[in-house]
Structure 1
């Protein structure tokens, strides 16, 4: 059975995360065209391709738009080596009925070949027949049962469907889930091999039904019976029960997918597409940070100066004192000698003259350099 979700932090309900593969060489230009077109149509409020943010020849794109009339969404797409990672965050909990952030960067055209799952290369918006080779089938389903970036659904065809039964599930899901679901189709004779491959995950696909795979670790609230559908009619009618199972699964609290923490951190802390109000707030925080660092350096300088003055006084007293003679009775009860005073003062100087480093502050989009110590 999948382990409990304790290894990674939980994803905030305000986040929308996705990862995919685009084999096209002109992928960056495709994203630029989509962003320009949606900005001209006022679907998104603005976009930016920050300079110097891409690594290893990659690209980074930022966009912001509003949903439900007033809820702002910020999204950041990183693209490199054919793999794209998209992190979006709204001002309130994400509603799957909102538009998919993927369609703000990629064309919605079904023919556009950008919506492939990383690793397997399976389509996110289409039906993926399971391979007939049992070894390949087992390898594929074992990986799908552990997937964390996407939701995998296995549908068993009790009989070979006609054209009406080949309608992808993604076309019927809420928009916010369409690019996060991989639909597998098992042919009528593959049921036994499918359930054999899934036995370790605790999932069993009913004959003529479907099952939502748990991922690893499985989210709290998942159980195999709760997310198995006994019957799916592949006759063109809407599979209401299956759509409900997928939607309920996507709403469960889940740990961040592996590698998603970096994407979320970059979205929140390395953001460049600022409004005027956000830029003013950023400048105010920079001024406060510099003032705090300057105050810390001033305190350190004053401490150093005070310790140095005490050391000079102790040294002068030591030079003016007569050379030590034979110890007389009762000398132990007297106060410390000037030499001892000098030693203690130098020890205090050593400990107090080290200025404490002001804490590093980062802001959304910039990591300001520390002020030069004087």
Structure 2
């Protein structure tokens, strides 16, 4: 039985989430170059390139949600901030990871991208993927976690029945993306082989995966899809696949198109179905929820105003922590003095008295000393 890694919550309407694999030689270099170019062109306001370990150390000393930790396989952490229509700010975080297994060279570098806007996301906004990754066919960043599947091209279904069914299971249970299957009524020409995702609004282009069934796969694809995901594939048509578990509002007939002409023209009916499906509340996978938590709780790229607010909050927190520790030290000293007095009384006054100098020396050797010194830096001197 496939593992269900979805939470009971839906993806927030302010968020854009994606993940994939980069199969090129230097993934982080490709991200870095793209961010530098976009900042120089004024497309983004700013960006950061961080080592995940150092980024975690630079965060608050106070406990955070454990899901904000990128994990031991994290390689680099990139943050970017830009503005879209009406000055709405978008914050995004991309983390690159080593694969869990190095059994094959084809695993590449895994990446997870979470972006969030100040208001509900609009599909006409730029894709966060092309803020971090160059939108070029020469950079191999767009491979799905599901092997053999890419975002920016057509993916032909396997000929083998078992492989086909396995692919359908993986795409509907493991993927964060919207999957569409199109049947080619006849072998298309060069224009017809162009991915339909190229016609989608910018923010949907890298959230949709297109699969193609060849003319002779009509029956086998239809049979396998009915068995694995409960929807059929009309000859010469297309269908948007439902995720597992199915989302509220999905109906196979509602998201099926009977005729798709693969002649290079815009398939308006199918595009409308994809946009409608993408607007439905999508389940939030547990690992996507962790990425969103990292974005919200582990953010480093602050504006000057945000840095000032953050500094004030930190001073208040440190002051409260120092006050709490001071009170604890006072209570500890009082308890120690009471214990010494009781010991002296019980021993008839023979026990050595603990002088204030000795108590101060003990306090100096306390493990709290270094922390107290650090916190004391935040106390303003009296004038």
User: Per the alignment, do residues 66 and 132 of structure 1 end up closer, same or farther by CA in structure 2, a change over 3 Å counting?
Assistant: same
Task: Provide the residue aligned with 1:170 in structure 2.
Answer: 197
Q: Partners of 2:289 and 2:194 in 1: how far apart? A: 35
Q: How many residues align?
A: 328
1:316: how far off?
A: 8.5
TM-score (norm 2): 0.77
User: Per the alignment, do residues 60 and 3 of structure 1 end up closer, same or farther by CA in structure 2, a change over 3 Å counting?
Assistant: closer
2:186 to 155, 159, 166: 159
1:62 maps onto 2:89 in alignment: no
1:39: how far off?
A: 0.7
User: Per the alignment, do residues 105 and 131 of structure 1 end up closer, same or farther by CA in structure 2, a change over 3 Å counting?
Assistant: same
Tell which deviates more after alignment, 96-105 or 247-256.
247-256
User: Per the alignment, do residues 283 and 373 of structure 1 end up closer, same or farther by CA in structure 2, a change over 3 Å counting?
Assistant: closer
Q: Partners of 2:302 and 2:183 in 1: how far apart? A: 48
1:31 maps onto 2:58 in alignment: no
1:78 maps onto 2:95 in alignment: yes
1:305: how far off?
A: 5.4
Q: Partners of 2:7 and 2:142 in 1: how far apart? A: 28
1:57: how far off?
A: 6.8
1:278 maps onto 2:295 in alignment: no
1:205-243 CA-partner distances (Å, limit 9, x unpaired)? 122111111112222221222211122122222211111
1:104: how far off?
A: 0.6
1:93 maps onto 2:120 in alignment: yes
1:106 maps onto 2:154 in alignment: no
TM-score (norm 1): 0.79
1:244: how far off?
A: 1.1
Larger radius of gyration: 1
User: Per the alignment, do residues 100 and 280 of structure 1 end up closer, same or farther by CA in structure 2, a change over 3 Å counting?
Assistant: same
User: Per the alignment, do residues 318 and 370 of structure 1 end up closer, same or farther by CA in structure 2, a change over 3 Å counting?
Assistant: closer
2:223 to 175, 196, 210: 196
Query: Does the aligned pair in 2 maintain the 1:5–1:217 contact within 8 Å?
Result: no
Query: Does the aligned pair in 1 maintain the 2:168–2:229 contact within 8 Å?
Result: no
Unaligned runs of at least 5 residues, structure 1? 321-368
Query: Does the aligned pair in 2 maintain the 1:116–1:124 contact within 8 Å?
Result: yes
Q: Partners of 2:199 and 2:18 in 1: how far apart? A: 19
1:279: how far off?
A: 1.0
1:12: how far off?
A: 1.4
Q: Partners of 1:373 and 1:39 in 2: how far apart? A: 36
Task: Provide the residue aligned with 2:156 in structure 1.
Answer: 129
SS in 2 for 1:225: coil
Task: Provide the residue aligned with 1:139 in structure 2.
Answer: 166
1:231 maps onto 2:259 in alignment: yes
Q: Partners of 2:170 and 2:73 in 1: how far apart? A: 28
User: Per the alignment, do residues 317 and 111 of structure 1 end up closer, same or farther by CA in structure 2, a change over 3 Å counting?
Assistant: closer
1:113-150 CA-partner distances (Å, limit 9, x unpaired)? 21111132322011111122222222212222224311
Q: Partners of 2:347 and 2:26 in 1: how far apart? A: 80
Q: Partners of 1:206 and 1:294 in 2: how far apart? A: 69
Q: Partners of 2:96 and 2:345 in 1: how far apart? A: 70
Q: Partners of 1:288 and 1:166 in 2: how far apart? A: 61
Q: Partners of 1:88 and 1:167 in 2: how far apart? A: 28
Q: Partners of 1:274 and 1:49 in 2: how far apart? A: 13
